[in-house]
Amino acid sequence: MTVTKVAVVAGAYTKSWNITSDADGDTTFAIAHGFVVQDGVAKAPALVWLTPLTSQFYTHKWTLGTVDTTNININATSAAGGGLAGTPQLQVIAMLPHSVID
Q: What is the CATH number of the domain that holds 13?
A: 2.60.40
Does 18 fall in a domain? yes
Per-residue pLDDT reduced to its tens digit, 26-39: 999 999 999 998 78
Does 102 fall in a domain? no
Does 75 fall in a domain? yes
Three-state SS string across 7-59, please?
EEEECCCEEEEEEEECCCCCCEEEEECCCECCCCCECCCCEEEEEECCCHHHH
CA distances from 17 to 92, 99, 101 (A): 5, 23, 24
Boundaries of domain holding 49:
3-96
User: How many domains is the chain partitioned into structurally?
Assistant: 1
Does 101 fall in a domain? no
Average pLDDT, the chain: 91
Per-residue pLDDT reduced to its tens digit, 76-95: 998 888 899 999 999 999 99
Per-residue pLDDT reduced to its tens digit, 1-13: 689 999 999 998 8
